Structure 1
Amino acid sequence: MKLEMSKNIATIARAKEFERRREKIVKFLKGTNDREGFIHRVFRYFLLIIIGFIYLYPLLYMISTSLMSLDDLLDVSINWIPSEFYIDNYVNAAKAMDFWKAFLDSIIIAGVPTLIQVASCAVIGYGFARFDFKGKRLMMLILIFSFILPKQVTMMPTYQLYTKLGLIGSLNAFNLSALFGQGLNAQIFILIFYQFFRQMPQSLIEAAQIDGAGNIRTFLRIAVPSAAPAILVVFLFSFVWYWNESYLTSMFVTGLGSGRTSQWTSLVVELKNFEDIYAQYNRNNQEQLRNINESIKMAGTFLSILPLLIMYVFLQKYFVESVDRTGITGE
């Protein structure tokens, strides 16, 4: 009898031990309320690796190809790692693009309208958020509709207007439109400021008014300092969009095909016409560059995005914090 009882007790103990281990394994795989499960972690990292690969593959391919010599390009056994780092591709691309002049022009073409646009969109967004006036809803509808409307629809009328005003071939084609809140994608920036200023505590505005501050002083002393996250987000987005805009820059600022061509250019415009520019450099200079190939094209492409990559490396932390504080979830 005692032997049978001891066997039953041992069986029950083994069953409890098995159940305890099973629950432990289930918790490890599925997780608990305060801890993430192994399956969820594996799936998340797998998804992040795939998404990261999709985004990084073109960049890695561009860097790898840009460092290959012509012999490496023709060698089918070399796919990713070149036999030697051939830096002359970057030297040839930089000479053909006149890199430093195009770089400085790009900073001015993208930076000046961006600064103007940040200021004008902040004023417009603050006005929509803090003042009630007749026709406000209609103007908001027009603002949203102008953002939905394809740019191709208004491109030719805008070009005709700028031609009559004598803005073609001048940086004012971007500056004046940014000043009046009609810059590149200005509608979304106005809405960002509008949403941010709407969330400001009304008590701050009332306290400033009690202290005798007018609307302009309240905007400059209270609204603008508190809107630093929105200002950074708008500045970065606007700068990148102006930097990457090649068609409108060629049409309005450079003035190609209008008879009012200027000396303004940008890295993206140079890249757009890279083959022609490369051939023209060889025709106009005694120093002949190596015949253009895929590696030189990739080197020119990487040079055109390198300043943006460097800027993002230094501003990434502040940019992520600003996006979180402004409530932007995606573009």
Structure 2
Amino acid sequence: MKRIAARFILYFILISIGYAYLYPLLYMFTTSFMTVEDLVNPTVSWIPSKMTLENFKKSWNVLEASKTLLNSVYLSAIPSILQTLVTALIAYGLSRFKFPLKRLWLFLILATFLIPTQVTIVTKYMLFSRLGIIGNPLVSFLPALTGQGIRSSIFILLYYNFFNMLPKAFDEAAELDGANSFQIFYRIFLPLSIPAIITTFIFSLVWYWNETLLTGMLLGNEIKTLPIALRDFAAKFALMFPAADGSAANRINEGIRMAATIITILPLLITYLVLQRQFVESLERTGITGE
């Protein structure tokens, strides 16, 4: 009886937590297919009486998704890949080599994570302006390539702790076989750090995808991403679909907003579904439990 009661409590807690996380997604999904009539009908709450794709068509056009989606993919995927590899290399050096003031460097790396982005955004803009790359994708690629990408410090520390768990015997055996430090890194450490790589890549991809402050300031109107287009969605919708004679037909409504939101987050959801198994396993092996 105690086991049944304990299991019931456990399932109740898990279902409650799951519902809290899934409710916003379910609400967005069902609302995005509703017509204006369903939205104003109090008897329709979850299941639309008549499903429509008109909300998605309008949202796709307003977001200019054919262009902004491509921009989002390469402005998030490329820096994420660079950041995943570079932070691993930096962590390998911190883990396996001895040099003066090593603890100070680790402290400074942690300090960069604690400093808010808003504090350094002006100096970043001035630096990139002097380099003449404002409005160029290099403003995202260069920091990732030098280990200064979005929240790179937490990935360096993740790799650092992971590499410290690997025995030094691996290095010694490889050195006896004539391997140099870089060969040890990419032939031994990288294959063994697949869990850390997957964790780093997914978190990095999400953070780069959702970044609007730095992207909007450093790229301006030269390159627009989906999240930035979503930020300006209401104003652009009013310009593209002006309401005529007070009619509600072309006015923005909840269904259109939810459709635009789904278009924006759908690539991330697909990525997670594809890598779900590897991601969960990597979290268990690297010790990450969430933000």
The verdict on a shared fold, with TM-score over 0.5 as the criterion, is yes
Q: Distance in 1 between matches of 2:37 and 2:203?
A: 40
Q: Secondary structure at the match of 2:12?
A: helix
TM-score (norm 1): 0.83
Q: Distance in 2 between matches of 1:80 and 1:327?
A: 38
1:274 equivalent among 233, 240, 247: 233
* CA-to-aligned-CA distance 1:27-67 (integer Å, 9 cap, x gap): x32xxxxxxx1121111111111111111111111111111
Q: How far 1:282 moved relative to its partner?
A: 4.1
Task: Confirm or deny that 1:297 pairs with 2:263.
Answer: no
Q: How many residues align?
A: 285
* CA-to-aligned-CA distance 1:61-95 (integer Å, 9 cap, x gap): 11111111111111122111111111110111111
Identity %: 43
1:197 equivalent among 159, 163, 167: 163
Q: How far 1:281 moved relative to its partner?
A: 3.2
Task: Confirm or deny that 1:325 pairs with 2:271.
Answer: no
Corresponding residue number in structure 2 for 1:184: 150
Corresponding residue number in structure 2 for 1:11: none
Task: Confirm or deny that 1:147 pairs with 2:113.
Answer: yes
Corresponding letter in the other structure for 1:108: Y
Alignment RMSD: 1.4
Q: In 1, are the aligned partners of 2:241 and 2:251 still within 8 Å (CA)?
A: no
Q: In 1, are the aligned partners of 2:75 and 2:137 still within 8 Å (CA)?
A: yes
Task: Confirm or deny that 1:249 pairs with 2:208.
Answer: no
Corresponding residue number in structure 1 for 2:179: 213
Corresponding residue number in structure 2 for 1:15: none
* CA-to-aligned-CA distance 1:158-197 (integer Å, 9 cap, x gap): 2222222222211111111111111001010001111111
List runs of 5+ in structure 1 lacking aligned partners: 1-27, 30-36, 256-260, 284-288
Say which structure, 1 or 2, has more relative contact order (CA 8 Å, 6+ apart): 2
2:192 equivalent among 213, 218, 226: 226
Corresponding letter in the other structure for 2:63: M
Q: In 2, are the aligned partners of 1:229 and 1:326 still within 8 Å (CA)?
A: yes
Task: Confirm or deny that 1:173 pairs with 2:148.
Answer: no
Corresponding residue number in structure 2 for 1:46: 12
Q: Distance in 2 between matches of 1:75 and 1:201?
A: 65
Q: In 2, are the aligned partners of 1:62 and 1:302 still within 8 Å (CA)?
A: yes
Q: How far 1:199 moved relative to its partner?
A: 0.9
Q: Distance in 2 between matches of 1:70 and 1:139?
A: 58
Corresponding letter in the other structure for 1:324: E
The structure whose Rg is larger is 1
* CA-to-aligned-CA distance 1:298-323 (integer Å, 9 cap, x gap): 10001101111111111100111111
TM-score (norm 2): 0.94
Q: In 2, are the aligned partners of 1:120 and 1:181 still within 8 Å (CA)?
A: yes
Q: Secondary structure at the match of 2:207?
A: helix
Q: Secondary structure at the match of 1:133?
A: coil
Corresponding letter in the other structure for 1:325: R
1:84 equivalent among 50, 53, 58: 50
Q: How far 1:324 moved relative to its partner?
A: 1.1
